[in-house]
Amino acid sequence: MKSTIIYKLGHAAVLLAVLMVLLPASASAEGKLELTAPNTNSQPRVSLTLTATDENGLPLLDLEPKDVEVTENGVVQEDVVLYPFYERPTPVDSVLALDASLTMRGKPLEEAKVAAKGFVNGMGAEDRTGVVSFGKAVKIEQPLTTDTTKLAQAINRLKVSPMTPLYDALVVAAEEANRSTNPRVVILMTDGANWRSKLTADEALEQVQDLGVPVFTVGFGKRAAKAPLERIAQETGGKYYTALEGSSLAEIFQQISKQLHQDYRLSYKSSTVAAVGSTVDVRVSLKRTGYETEASFSYDYASRQRVERAGAPAAVGNLRVITEAKPVEQMTAIPGGTFGLPIGAGLATLVFSFGAWLASTPSRVQRRLASYISMSDFIEVATTRSSKLGIMMRPVVQFTSAIMLRILPASHQRKLVEGLAAAGYPYRWRLAQFVTLKGLAALLPAGITFFATQNLLLAVGLVGLGFYAPNYWLAKKVKQRRSRILLQLPDALDLLTISVEAGLGFDAAVTEVVQKWDNDLAKEFGAVLAEMKLGKSRREALKAMAKRIDIPEMRVFVGAIVQAEEIGMGIGRALSIQAEQMRLRRRQRAEELAHKAVVKILFPMVFFIFPAIFVVLLGPAVPSVIQAFAGLGK
């Protein structure tokens, strides 16, 4: 009996040892880790772009700093920061397989079309998309392409028909995606089960697995067949989503688009101290459960020097010889007095900032060419002009903005973002560039002043002045832009009214304004159309525009359009009334300014014009008057 128990325990121990050996090997998937764009200009802070994919080539989601280990020359680094951003450099090719059976007729199909077009518009410029429909037959509506116009036309062509050959459509979509050499995926959207497919589920899944194409499945409606769709996603390496109603389709497609393009920004504080020019080997290991992989790169150690231990006595042999200084009375005075150097430093900072702005701003010729060439070409031309300056300023902007965004409260950052949006992003600046300007304007003049004068109070005052001065500049830009929009609004309403009364829809009329004009209001209308393409409703996009512009006339216009849409009133009639009111308000505003001008002109007349007239008229008589009064004294 005892030997039998020992025998069984021995077998169990051997089996357990085998499992312990095999389980780790079988649990680790063949993922891939890519490191790109390493930046060591801000040592000791090192940053890079990290792309982590699974065995199907799909990006890993929800990575955290604890999932990553960074070593330099074998030493583990601390203070690792990891956050996602959606700018994947590698193009992604996707095929939309859309259900066009009879159960999708009416509103469900229209909502699916809107969501699909929003997904297409949300893809990158180099990403390719294809469209496959399945109803009575499986049809490739549009092969893989980057042309969003052709894709929109293919989606609009979808018409309902009987039958739902789900598994046939799955294989056709996977074969179309397999033509790509980039990371590829199939997005299968259906509201019903399989009906009249030539292939069984096992046969279709076997073919898709052989092709190695992951499939994202979207079950649409409350009666969607959940089990087979979950099986397709699980066995192909994709993910299953549920959309109970059409309004959630756009959100699901947006989530899929983000997942396909998710990369991470990794940064850490280097602890390496070495000789200048020596090579530092960096190894990044991903140790997430189920995925263990690593990648490496190297960089040359730059100007950061070894920090000596605090409190260590200085060696006599290393002391620098100091020449005899001049007496205080014999020192050369600073030109311009005590404040000459800080004032000159401040002016030099302003000149440098103006030069940087001038070099980074597109010329008038480039802005005019923007209407004839594509926007990507225009941005490339503008970037080429300031490429050298951009290369010099990029590390400064990255380092300074990283510090400023950690210091500034979230409410202040939100106000700055809203202000930049209201100003139309002057000079194409975003939050990072603007907070860099605030930081440099606050610290550079104050630091130079303090080292030159040792006046702490003056330096603190310059810090506050330099920090808030860009805010006043931004407020001025916002005010100027709102004034321009206020002048442009009546003419835009006239064009919208004419377009709607001619038979165009409201969105098409707004498109006419965007295409025919190149001003601030046309850009705002263009932003409204872009937000609508990304899934926002017309009401939300218009209200967002009214909030950005924040003038009473725009709020009244948006309120009238939203109200007309809600109560079913004709948009043409609402636009006609708004145009008439805008013209009336413009005339009243001009009359008000004319009445104010009468009062305002008194001050230059009294202080500048009247004295000149008196000098001209009474000047020749002054000598005679003086002579006459002089004679009376005698």
- Report the phi/psi class of residue 279: left, alpha or beta, with left for phi > 0 and alpha for psi in -120 to 50: beta
Q: Write the Ramachandran bin of 138: left for phi over 0, alpha for psi from -120 to 50, otherwise beta.
A: beta
Q: How confident is the model at residue 261 (pLDDT cuts 50, 70, 90)?
A: low
pLDDT at res. 47:
76
Q: Is 296 left (phi over 0), alpha (psi -120 to 50) or beta?
A: beta
Domain with CATH 2.60.40.1220 in the chain: 32-88+263-300
CATH of domain 32-88+263-300: 2.60.40.1220
- pLDDT at site 8: 47
70 vs 5, 273, 286, 342, 418, CA distance in Å? 48, 16, 9, 44, 37
Residue located via tokens 């199909």: 109
Q: Which long-range contacts (CB under 8 A, 24 or more apart) does 150-157 make?
A: 151/117, 151/120, 152/117, 152/120, 155/96, 155/98, 155/113, 155/116, 155/117, 155/120, 155/131, 156/113
Average pLDDT over residues 52-66: 75
Q: pLDDT tens-digit profile of 546-555?
A: 888 888 888 8
Instruction: Kindly tell me the burial class for residue 513, based on how many C-beta atoms sit within 10 Å of its own C-beta (0-12, 13-18, 19 or more).
Output: buried
CA angle, 312 then 315 then 318, to 5°: 125
Over residues 131-146, the mean pLDDT reads: 91
Portions of the chain given CATH number 3.40.50.410:
93-260
In this structure, the chain runs to a length of 634
d(CA 139, CA 552): 51
Question: Is domain 93-260 given the CATH code 3.40.50.970 in the classification?
Answer: no
More confident residue, 132 or 494: 132
What is the spatial distance between Cα 575 and Cα 45, in angstroms, rounded to a whole number? Answer: 56
Q: Compute φ and ψ for 97, nearest 5 degrees.
A: -105, 105
Q: Kindly tell me if the per-residue pLDDT of 130 is higher than 90.
A: yes
Strand partners, 293: 286
Band the pLDDT of 376: cuts 50, 70, 90: very low
Q: What is the pLDDT of residue 459?
A: 83
Highest mean pLDDT among 3-17, 165-179, 292-306: 165-179
Q: How far apart are CA 15 and CA 1, in angstroms?
A: 21
Residue range 196-241, pLDDT digits in tens: 888 998 999 999 988 888 898 998 887 788 888 989 988 887 888 8
- Place 343 in a pLDDT band, splitting at 50, 70 and 90: low
268 forms beta bridges with 46
What percent of the chain has a predicted confidence (pLDDT) above 70?
76
Cβ(393)–Cβ(356) under 8 Å? yes
Q: How many other CB atoms are found less than 10 A from the CB of residue 548?
A: 18
Contact predicate 269/44, CB 8 Å = yes
From-to residues of CATH 1.20.81 in the chain? 485-597
* Pairing of β 32-39 and β 45-53: antiparallel
CATH number of 485-597: 1.20.81
